[in-house]
Chains A and B, each alone.
Chain A
Amino acid sequence: MIDGGEAIRFESVSKRFGETEAVKGLDITIEQGEFFSLLGPSGCGKTTTLRMVAGFEQPSEGRIFLDGQPVETVPPYQRNVNTVFQSYALFENLDVFENVAFGLKRRKVARDEIRRRVTAALELVQLPARSDAKPRELSGGQKQRVALARALVNRPGVLLLDEPLGALDLKLRRQMQLELKAIQREVGITFVYVTHDQEEALSMSDRIAVMDAGEVKQCGQPEDIYERPRGEFVAGFIGISNLLEGRVEDSGEVAIGNGLRIPAPLPNDCARGDAVQISVRPEKIAVQEIEPGMVSLEGRIETRVYLGVSTQITVSLGDGARLVALEQATYRAQADDRWEVGQRIRIGWRPEHCLVLR
């Protein structure tokens, strides 16, 4: 559904609040029909970015284009975007139907059409039966659906979602993630989704921009972000990063603190002696069952955490270096009783699963 046209473009956008620089030199283009996530820890500038698109904040520098048009002089109520707020921000004095109809009424849409579109929007979010309930009578998940319907009913060019699932419990969250994604496919509207939950971003997005301290650290597809993180922050923020400090050796190896030399796919411009970090995802680490061609190390199990579908073990390599391995509880593994703390084991991984970061 991504049709190539540009929905939003940021041109060196910065935002300062007094001394603090919330967003620094943002340059991103978001395509039409894209599910685009802004991912980062709290205070990284992702919500500020969203609010600048909505028109609640003005950039200190740079320009934002919506549908190719600069929007600095366009007030929020004239922008072709709608927002789903983190707190839902439903109007308590209005019932569900009136809440959803609010935007259409302000735009002087005919009564019959309002009725038709509100009904359709409530069906889209699977809430048609509660149209005369007041917001306070709804559960968190239902409020979320009303907030979504209230925004989508206006058929905006872009839908902005500010951590919309943050207040829901885990199970409902998972379900709403699937539904949100399905709804986005169905309506084909560009979604800009702010979240601090990496799993949420990975599972829903077409593309993700990982932000930290006001800057975009990496922007790309979920697979890119996860498999080929650029830099320590992205590697650390998405999943368990397993970083080991080391120095580049002549032999195409990285020497880590305790004298171990680990073969790694070094970038071409690495010189001997460069300080680098290597990273291996926990699920890529084999425990005990080392295959030919794998990098293999010996260590001691420091902790063992049983997680149901998997067991997470921390392996100390000596000299402060440690790696986390996730062993899936497949038919082959009796993961819950396999390892003891203190046990010495071998771990290993395929060289291509090792990532060199600078």
Chain B
Amino acid sequence: MSERRFASLTLLPGAAWLVLLFLVPLGITLAISFGVTDELGNALYAWHPENYDRVFDPLFAPVLLRSVGYAAATVALCLLIGYPVAYYIARFGGRYKYLLVALVVLPFLVNYLIRVYAWTAILSDEGLVNGVLEDLGLTSDGVRFLNTPWAVIGGLTYGYLAFMILPIYAALDRMNPSLIEAGKDLYATGWQTFRHVTWPATFQGVLAGSVLVFLPAVGDFVSAQLLGGPDTYMVGNLIQQQFFDANNFPFGAALTTVLMAFLLIFMVFYLRSAGRAAAEARA
């Protein structure tokens, strides 16, 4: 057996895993999205494309737009918080570099659901933050945090921040530090050096981080479920509702399919850009 043939065998377990546990369920989801439900709420395979008309019913437009808006705000916040963190670790981390990276990843050892649940205790009307604010005399009747868009976006940002930091850190770490000195040497101030040298040199990392945050944030339901309310529900909550409360599998599947198609556009855009950058780096 040639080495190449043998090497392709190593793909087998992973391929089998993905086909069985990802592609097959995906096919079922796709099939059910065209189905109907009987009187008892059981999904039946059928040809009922009207499920998709319902997805674009103006009734659900706010939920879809809200999901995209919250995810975009999450990306922006993660970038705003994450870039400086990545910058500090990559440029000034010194011998603590890897420790700091480990600290960024550390929260991931705890399940996302549990971490967001902890936030309810922090943000609730009788929670930690309000307690501190009252003790300081800044407020007497409490500030409403839960059930606001800010709580949901905050939860999403907290949940996915590391996905932004790590690729930007990698890009900054790869970057030749002489480039920054070259910028300063050529009369660029600190800000101009960042704007014209560092940012372009690390843009692929920013792009990767943005996609890695945006994709799960759009489909997220945990943050809105625990930190939000009906006014802040996202498409993930809507899908969950269809499957678990409304017992409308076909409509839930149709929503899922549309969401995936939408995310696929970003994925393709990102992969093409990353592929181009890799090809350029090789040349």
Contacts and interface: CB of A to CB of B under 8 A. Distances in A.
B188 A85 contact: no
Interface in B177-236: 178-179, 181-189, 192-193, 196-197, 200-201, 203
A75 B184 contact: yes
Contacts of B183: 102
Interface string B123-141: 0000000000000000000
A106 B188 contact: yes
B40 to A, nearest CB: 60
A181 interface: no
A93 B201 contact: yes
B280 interface: yes
A77 B178 contact: no
Contacts of B188: 77, 102, 106
Contact of B179 (A55, A77, A91, A151): A91
Interface residues of A, number: 28
Contact of B201 (A92, A137, A154): A92
- How many interface residues does chain B have, given as a range? 20 to 34
A77 B176 contact: no
B186 A85 contact: no
B283 interface: yes
A93 B200 contact: yes
A89 B181 contact: yes
B280 A107 contact: no
A150 interface: yes
A136 interface: yes
B200 A83 contact: no
A82 interface: yes
A77 B189 contact: yes
Q: What secondary structure prevails in chain B residues at the interface with A?
A: helix
Interface string A30-53: 000000000000000000000000
Contacts of A107: 187
Interface string B258-283: 00000000000000000000001101
Contacts of B179: 89, 91
A103 interface: yes
A324 interface: no
A82 B186 contact: yes
Nearest to B200: A93
Contact of B186 (A55, A106, A137): A106
B185 A83 contact: yes
Contacts of A78: 187
A85 B187 CA distance: 15
Interface in B56-88: none
B184 A85 contact: no
A306 interface: no
Given A87-B176, A87-B178, A89-B181, A103 B200 contact: no
Contacts of B197: 91
Given A103-B187, A136-B280, A154-B186, A85 B181 contact: yes
B258 to A, nearest CB: 36
B43 to A, nearest CB: 51
A54 interface: yes
Instruction: List the 5 shortest-distance A-B pairs measured between CB atoms, nearest first.
Output: A103-B186, A89-B178, A89-B182, A106-B187, A93-B200
Given A154-B186, A154-B187, 17 more contacts: A56-B181, A77-B188, A77-B193, A82-B185, A82-B186, A85-B181, A89-B182, A91-B179, A91-B182, A91-B196, A93-B203, A102-B183, A103-B187, A106-B186, A106-B188, A136-B281, A150-B186
Interface of B: 176, 178-179, 181-189, 192-193, 196-197, 200-201, 203, 280-281, 283
6 contacts: A76-B184, A77-B189, A83-B182, A89-B178, A92-B200, A136-B283
